[in-house]
Amino acid sequence: MGGPKFQTGLRLMSGNEAIAEAALYAGCRFFAGYPITPSTEIAEVLSKRLPQVGGYFLQMEDEIASIAAVLGASLAGGKTMTASSGPGISLKQENLGYGCIAEIPCVVVNVQRGGPSTGVPTKAMQGDVMQARWGTHGDHPIITLYPDGVEEAFWETIRAFNLAERFRTPVILLSDEIIGHMRERMFLPKPGTVSIYNRRKPRRIPEKYYPYKGGTQDVPTMAPVGEGYRFHVTGLFHDRTGFPTNDPSVIDTEMRRLLRKIDRAYNEIVKWEEMFMDDAEEIIVAYGGTARSARAAVRRLRARDRKVGMFRLKTIWPFPTRALAKIARRPHVKMMLVPEMNAGQLIHEVLLAVNGRCAVEGLQRLDTEMITPRQLMRALREA
């Protein structure tokens, strides 16, 4: 790593460009994808940059093949990523579920646009936050991160790779057209100065290796295909050897381990930002592109001596239920406002967390335009 292969220093970048560069810093050496607005720039950048660092770029025939290739390359030992938008993410869901049950680390980027179906390709919405949690069928763990700008897109992409490798799981990085196409300056660090996590490989000899034996942290070690370890990978329920099973007790044990490995790491995974929260009576709970307007609205209202704060989600899933519940218990908190560029999705999680301790109001915008600071200020005034 180093030299002209990696950009360093102060740069003017878009969110999509920052995600692509961050993937390289994190050690990603394989990308498979299919062009789709508004995520296409990620593929365009990596089609040029990956060969420069000894990596591989494949434009696949469709979205289904893209995530299949990513899972296969990960099993072979590579750090892998794919990127798409709503319609393409819908097509990836079956293989995303395969990655969850087979515990294959990878990063899936969703630069959200208007929907459903093909919707509005060139405009932003936030309609995929529930899809990120429950898009593939069955009970499954998932980690979903959501930055609010270009610099954070860089760092959260690296964190997505670290979490995928740490917990042997697909990680979804949510973005939106606002973040993907905005341009901001940011400082790119020197390669080698960024903390990178690499998956744990087995120390046992191949004859004594169990690919799904969780150990004390419930996360199995992972042997790359082609290094002498022979094991079975399937989307069926399986035992610790990887071979299918119909034994209810084994299925229950393995499913609980699969879910537990994420649940027990809640404090390591879940991140958020608090702004002016010490004395806040009204709180805006925001995420992604909408959080930028929320930050501006809070500052304007604070200048008018109104006790408003912001709770911004960096991790969407697992949802920061405990943190919001704790805040709702503060005696001075009167209400929470949840602005979303959808018909109201995460507001239901906020309601569950608050559990009636304070009022919860929603502000939904469905016309593919940003929620503005003025709209937020008006919503608080009317509430």
pLDDT digits (tens, 9 = 90+) for 61-105: 999 999 999 999 999 999 999 999 999 999 999 999 999 999 999
8 Å CB contact between 371 and 365? yes
pLDDT, residue 3, reads 41
pLDDT, residue 260, reads 96
Third-level CATH fold of 271-382: Rossmann fold (3.40.50)
pLDDT, residue 216, reads 74
What percentage of the chain reaches a pLDDT higher than 70? 99
Closest CA to 156 of 309, 273, 274: 273
Tell me: the pLDDT tens digits for 104-129? 999 999 999 999 999 999 999 999 99
Tell me: the pLDDT tens digits for 321-348? 999 999 999 999 999 999 999 999 999 9
- CA–CA distance, 292 with 297 (Å, rounded to integer): 9
- CA–CA distance, 73 with 226 (Å, rounded to integer): 12
Third-level CATH fold of 3-188: Rossmann fold (3.40.50)
pLDDT, residue 214, reads 86
pLDDT, residue 7, reads 79
Distances (CA, A) of 270 to 157, 162, 193, 313: 15, 14, 23, 9
At 141, the pLDDT band (50, 70, 90 cuts) reads very high
8 Å CB contact between 346 and 269? no
Is the pLDDT at 4 greater than 80? The verdict is no
pLDDT, residue 2, reads 41
pTM of the model: 0.95
At 192, the pLDDT band (50, 70, 90 cuts) reads confident
- CA–CA distance, 181 with 39 (Å, rounded to integer): 9
- Where along the chain do its domains lie? 3-188, 206-267, 271-382
At 217, the pLDDT band (50, 70, 90 cuts) reads confident
- CA–CA distance, 202 with 206 (Å, rounded to integer): 9
pLDDT, residue 318, reads 98
Asked if the domains 3-188 and 271-382 are classified in one and the same CATH topology, the answer is: yes
8 Å CB contact between 26 and 163? no
- CA–CA distance, 137 with 116 (Å, rounded to integer): 19
Give me the chain's average pLDDT, please. Answer: 95
8 Å CB contact between 184 and 12? yes
Helices 150-167 and 15-26: crossing angle in degrees, nearest 10, is: 40
At 191, the pLDDT band (50, 70, 90 cuts) reads confident
Is the pLDDT at 162 greater than 60? The verdict is yes
Is the pLDDT at 312 greater than 50? The verdict is yes
Closest CA to 290 of 344, 330, 335, 328: 344
Judged on CB neighbours under 10 Å (0-12, 13-18, 19+), 203 is exposed
At 1, the pLDDT band (50, 70, 90 cuts) reads very low
pLDDT, residue 85, reads 97
What percentage of the chain reaches a pLDDT higher than 90? 93
End-to-end CA distance of the chain: 53
User: CA angle, corner 318, sides to 312 and 319, nearest 5?
Assistant: 45
